[in-house]
Chains A and B, each alone.
Chain A
Amino acid sequence: MSGEGTSERSGRRSAAEPSAEQARSRARPGDTSGEGTSERSGRRSAAEPSAEQARSRARPEDTSIAERRPATTRQRGRARNVVLTVVLGVGAFTMIVPFLWMVLTSVKSPEDLATFPPSFWPDEWVWSNYTDALDAAPFGTYFRNSLIIATGHTSITLVFAAMAGYALARIPFRGREFVFMGFVAMLMIPTYTKIVPQFLIVKFMPLFGGNDILGQGGSGWLNTWWALLIPGGLSPFAIFLFRQFYLSLPRELEEAARIDGLGELRIWAQVYTPLIKPAIATVALLTFQDSWNNFLWPLLVTTRDDLRVIQVGLAVFQQQESTAWAYLMAGTTLATVPMVLLFLVAQRYFIQGFANAGIK
């Protein structure tokens, strides 16, 4: 898929090119600055001459080989593919079983759950488990909170990370390299090397939650939407990705736009950003997913039930009702389904994003 993804991206890029025809020649050097793409295009171009050689080399042999290995190799190839498919099928089944088991458990009756060995399919499908689970714990509220926070994080990222990425990629300002290196350094900081002071900053946030100007006396941002929305709103990783995406675009556009007297904000928002829509989708999905799945931070900064996100709500429910497996699996299904659906619908962007993140 990532192969398709990149080809698609270059397809979009070439669609953008007619607007700046000379840009085509420059677009590739532009690529070089994006480290990942440089490697890829470098390899591709390195591969091209050898591909031609190989083709010319292969041509005389083609006929002879085709004559020499007719049915047997093809059969062996097919047999091999069957073996591969079976092995992958077993692996994929292992991957999918826990999800199946989750959904099946969520619709089983209490008697059904208390039998050993359990039957795979429910004796009767108790869909009312879902409404009962919603009565047993405010999963609806948890779900809504997660949705608000994930949407909030995504919006903040799409505006501010994209803006910063654009500036780092396209505006030559003094200290730009330094700022960029700073972001890259911050990218490598593990969560646990910052979590304790982050919590303290939230707790001592001045003038919030009864705190005085020095941050003393109250609870600051603890148990507020601020704590849930702001600290996790931007990640250096998103900024980094956006910079790479903006770097891959031709420079002529910005020059033309600047000569036309457009301000940088408008060049960013109206000229460049529409050209990286797939990239935006990728970053948006990764951010949404990260936010939806986050557990530790909301666990630390919220204790109020009406501010809990679904992952924390699940963990709390499990601690309180450790044997209500049907309800627990119903809640888990609620926590899982949005991401699974989003993934299935927008698989291409997810995979492209992870592949990009991987090659860097």
Chain B
Amino acid sequence: MSMTTKSLETTAGDVRDRARRPARGRRSSGRKLRRAGWLMVMPAVAHTIVWIAIPVVATFVLSFTDYEVFSAPSFIGLDNYVELWNDDIFRKATWNTVVYTFFTVPFSMAVAVVVAVFLNQKIRFRAAFRATFFLPQVTATVAIAMVWLWMYNPQYGLINAVLSFFGLPSQAWLDDPDLALWSVILVGIWQGIGMKMLIYLAALQNIDPNLYEAASLDGASSVRQFFSITLPMLKPATFFVFVVSIIGAFQVFDQVYVLTDGGPANATTMMTYEVYRAAFQDFRMGLACAQSVVLFAFLLVLTVINRRLTGGDDQ
């Protein structure tokens, strides 16, 4: 009897023990897991805090200061913003940036949609075409701008050569204040097609082919199908492409630096170029930060407007 109770007790104890032990193990392994998670994410978190989070906050804070690097920043309230408001060159830069964006983005998007739709057909050399259209996207903007600088050359450039072949007069593409911005815009359109085309192409492949089948059974022409099926189905992709392209276009810098240096007579200066000048040529860091904040505000407003317009169904 005692034997049985004892054995019963031990088994009961064993059971209790066994029940407890894994539980304890799980709890401690859970803690270990959590610690491992933090340890693994830590380097990235630290890097992001130092090189993104702090700089963003600092940009806003410094925009209210007069700061010329060699002396400590001093708080001057909204003076930088007031100065920018009255600054003709910054206003010109803002206008140029807006013009640049609103010509490059829609034009290259329109071309990209058409190219993507064409490439989505079963045609020959599809892969080669796609690679060719994408090529300007993988090469550096500086290198590309260098080539265009040479092609725009007023004396020996390829573009004037083509014009003269058709009996048209040569142009000083980058030196003529009326033409310079358009010349920069053309490069922007040319380079921007590839990325947009690719995103559209990926989105096109997600469209249910039965929609087209049904439409063509109903006798809809392919142009009609494009406007009634393709474009509506591409709405989320369009929202995404638009936002990304606007953010990219607003930050145009490399080609301006190489092609025109902001000239002639500030005809092609951009907001980014003014940030660069203020911060790294005049060492007026506070003013440059205020310019960055204005740039950021523009991007924020444009993103929100676009989200409203497209119904924000980007996900």
Contacts and interface: CB of A to CB of B under 8 A. Distances in A.
A19 interface: no
Nearest to A360: B240
Nearest to A289: B138
Contact of B142 (A1, A268, A311): A311
Given A190-B295, A358-B198, A95 B136 contact: yes
B93 interface: no
A343 B253 contact: no
A249 interface: no
B52 A194 contact: yes
B213 A189 contact: no
B38 A300 contact: no
A208 to B, nearest CB: 14
Contacts of B203: 358-359
Given A88-B123, A197-B55, A358-B202, A314 B143 contact: yes
Given A88-B119, A190-B250, A335-B143, A117 B44 contact: no
Interface stretch (B29-37, B74-82, B173-181): B29-37
Interface in A157-199: 160-161, 163-164, 166-168, 171-176, 179, 182-183, 186, 189-199
A193 B280 contact: no
Contacts of A175: 38
Contacts of B111: 91
Contacts of A197: 54-56, 58-59, 62, 289
A22 B249 CA distance: 47
A230 B142 CA distance: 22
A340 to B, nearest CB: 6
B210 A54 contact: yes
B279 A196 contact: yes
Contacts, number: 315
B255 to A, nearest CB: 10
Contacts of A189: 52, 56
Interface residues of B, number: 106
Contacts of B128: 92
A280 to B, nearest CB: 16
Given A85-B125, A98-B151, A192 B295 contact: yes
Contacts of B149: 318
A343 B131 contact: yes
A116 B156 contact: yes
Given A84-B121, A300-B280, A359-B237, A315 B142 contact: yes
Contact of B37 (A172, A195, A311): A172
Contacts of B184: none
Interface stretch (B8-16, B83-91, B157-165, B224-232): B157-165
B292 A195 contact: yes
Given A43-B208, A325-B150, 11 more contacts: A58-B213, A116-B161, A192-B271, A193-B59, A196-B55, A197-B58, A198-B51, A234-B48, A239-B44, A264-B33, A329-B146
30 contacts: A39-B206, A47-B208, A50-B208, A85-B123, A91-B115, A92-B128, A95-B132, A99-B135, A118-B158, A160-B44, A161-B44, A164-B40, A164-B43, A164-B44, A171-B34, A171-B37, A179-B41, A196-B279, A201-B51, A234-B47, A263-B36, A296-B253, A318-B149, A318-B258, A328-B146, A336-B143, A339-B139, A351-B198, A355-B198, A359-B240
